[in-house]
């Protein structure tokens, strides 16, 4: 037990958990203050709000008397897992690049390019002549391939021209945003049938393409969940194995922590930087594929003014997980749990939906803090060791 407590892994987990708790606490304080100062809210509503932030996942609504009710809510959990799917992938993308010494801020752009390729393939290949399962696979891997190419661009700039990958990624993000808008604008996929809303393209179900449920709909009825979450988890495990067990991962990590030494050892540093970014891009794009190929999601194609939050949220997901691929699964699920809690807060109280964004932001902000907390933990550990050593004498 003591050994576990002192292991570096445990320290990271503890640091992340602490920063999450602090984030929730600060969020609760915000809710409380807003509750006490707003005209249409009261401290009692604030108390409901705080409880929903912590336990929104298990909220089942209000009873006749108007009190909050709690219990197992399969819809909530299913939706949480569905929202976590793309986050796991973008988180993996950032984490994997970070392990190889690269800061992949290009996840949103790669995500968009993945969206473009997957949707184009999923809607463009006629399902009358090609089995939908094949179309799905084509769309999934096509999306990954497009993301890989998109990721490789800043990778090549870094490797061959020594341009900082952060700069190149930001540029390629906006190029992606405009490219995607343009490509859909001139395409035939704009949704003209369901004209209730404008600016959306067809769901992939119009072409009979959708990710199989793999039985998860039985487990979590009335939710959006599908097999994508399982694919994401498998990919996360795959990234973990690749990075920590294979010679390829060893090379990537060597390049990441000391490019010069890697070169000295005969490792092709330039090739590996490009590969790292390409894999990161493919992972991000896979997130997009899994999200849009679900069949029940509609893509708003006019993206030229905004980048998808899912891409950026990969950064806090990765940081909160200390860039551990397996940890990413849990932090991504946690982030989407907050999302669900936010929805419940909006639905069940008079709180404005944006307050949940404030809370999420606080936690995101504190995720960077988890490093500080980790340092504090290890310095505390050293102190205890010293006193223990002293008393032993």
Q: Does 386 bind other proteins (CB under 8 A)?
A: yes
Token pair for residue 336?
Answer: 């989407």
What is the nearest approach in angstroms of other proteins to the Cβ of residue 278?
Answer: 18
Find how far residue 229's CA is from the centre of its chain: 12
d(CA 332, CA 365): 15
The residue written with tokens 């540093």 in the block is: 269
Q: How many CB atoms within 10 Å of residue 213?
A: 16
Look at the block and give the residue holding tokens 């897992």: 81
Query: Which of 27, 101 has the CB closer to other proteins?
Result: 101
Q: State which residue, 70 or 248, has the beta carbon closest to other proteins.
A: 248
Told to check if 393 binds other proteins by CB under 8 A, we report no
Nearer to other proteins, 218 or 382 (CB): 382
CB of 85 within 8 A of CB of 291? Answer: yes
Closer Cβ to other proteins, 8 or 234, answer by number: 8
> What's the min distance (Å) between Cβ of 260 and other proteins?
5
- Out of 266, 387, 391, 393, name the contact with other proteins by CB under 8 A: 266
- The residues that bridge with 70 in the sheet, in sequence order, are 59
Q: Give the CA distances from residue 131 to residues 123, 294, 362, in Å, rounded to whole numbers and listed in that order.
A: 13, 17, 46
In terms of CB distance, is 126 or 266 closer to other proteins?
A: 266
For residue 335, how many C-alpha atoms fall within 13 Å in the half-sphere facing its CB? Answer: 35
Residue closer to other proteins by CB (options 248, 300) is: 248
Structure tokens at 309: 């939050």
Give the nearer residue to other proteins in terms of CB position, either 143 or 325.
325
Contact (Cβ atoms closer than 8 angstroms) between residue 277 and residue 151: yes
Tokens of 82: 């569905």
Least distance (Å) from other proteins to the CB of residue 267?
Answer: 8
Instruction: Pick out residues in 232-261 that bind other proteins (CB under 8 A).
Output: 245-248, 250-251, 253-254, 257-258, 260-261
Number of residues that bind other proteins (CB under 8 A): 19
CB closer to other proteins out of 10 and 248: 248
DSSP 307-375: --HHHHHHHHHHHHTTT-HHHHHHHHHHHHHHHHHHHHHHHHSS--THHHHHHHHHHHHHHHHHHHHHH
CB of 245 to other proteins, least distance (A): 5
Residue 382 as a binder of other proteins (CB under 8 A): the answer is yes
Cα-Cα-Cα-Cα dihedral sign, residues 369, 375, 378, 380? negative
In 3D space, the residue among 327, 373, 388 whose CA is nearest the CA of residue 11 turns out to be: 373
* Look-up of token digits 């890697």: 262
Please report how close the Cβ of residue 341 comes to other proteins at its closest, in angstroms. Answer: 37
- For the bound state, the minimum distance from the C-beta of residue 100 to other proteins, rounded and expressed in Å, comes to 12
Shortest approach of other proteins to residue 382 CB, angstroms? 7
Give the nearer residue to other proteins in terms of CB position, either 130 or 241: 241
Q: Give the shortest CB-6-to-other proteins separation in angstroms.
A: 13
> Looking at 205-213, 263-271, 272-280, 365-373, which segment touches other proteins (CB under 8 A)?
263-271
- Contact call for residue 264 and other proteins (CB under 8 A): yes
Residues that bind other proteins (CB under 8 A): 245-248, 250-251, 253-254, 257-258, 260-266, 382, 386
């Amino acid at each position: 037990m003591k050994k576990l407590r002192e292991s570096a892994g445990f320290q990271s987990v503890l640091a992340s958990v602490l920063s999450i708790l602090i984030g929730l606490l600060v969020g609760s304080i915000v809710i409380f203050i807003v509750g006490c100062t707003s005209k249409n809210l009261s401290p009692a509503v604030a108390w409901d709000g705080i409880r929903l932030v912590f336990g929104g996942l298990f909220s089942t609504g209000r009873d006749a008397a108007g009190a909050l009710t709690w219990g197992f809510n399969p819809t909530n959990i299913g939706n949480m897992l569905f929202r976590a799917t793309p986050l796991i992938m973008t988180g993996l993308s950032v984490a994997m690049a970070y392990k190889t010494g690269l800061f992949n801020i290009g996840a949103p752009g790669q995500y968009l390019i993945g969206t473009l390729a997957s949707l184009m393939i999923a809607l463009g290949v006629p399902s009358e002549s090609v089995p939908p399962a094949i179309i799905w696979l084509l769309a999934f891997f096509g999306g990954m391939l497009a993301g890989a190419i998109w990721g490789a661009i800043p990778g090549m700039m870094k490797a061959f021209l020594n341009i900082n990958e952060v700069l190149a990624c930001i540029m390629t993000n906006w190029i992606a945003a405009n490219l995607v808008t343009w490509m859909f604008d001139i395409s035939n996929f704009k949704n003209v049938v369901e004209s209730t809303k404008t600016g959306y393209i067809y769901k992939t179900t119009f072409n009979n393409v959708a990710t199989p449920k793999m039985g998860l709909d039985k487990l979590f009825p009335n939710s959006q969940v599908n097999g994508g979450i399982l694919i994401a988890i498998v990919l996360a495990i795959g990234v973990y194995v690749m990075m920590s067990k294979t010679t390829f991962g060893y090379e990537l990590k060597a390049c990441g922590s000391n490019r010069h030494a890697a070169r000295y050892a005969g490792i092709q540093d330039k090739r590996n930087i490009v590969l790292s970014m390409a894999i990161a891009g493919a992972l991000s794009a896979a997130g997009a594929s899994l999200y849009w190929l679900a069949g029940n999601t509609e893509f708003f194609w006019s993206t030229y003014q905004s980048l998808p939050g899912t891409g950026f949220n990969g950064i806090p997901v990765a940081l909160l997980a200390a860039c551990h691929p397996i940890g990413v699964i849990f932090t991504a699920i946690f982030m989407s749990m907050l999302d669900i809690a936010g929805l419940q807060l909006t639905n069940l109280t008079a709180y404005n939906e944006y307050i949940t964004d404030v809370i999420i932001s606080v936690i995101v902000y504190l995720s960077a803090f988890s490093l500080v907390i980790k340092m504090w933990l290890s310095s505390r550990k050293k102190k205890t060791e010293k006193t223990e050593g002293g008393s032993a004498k």
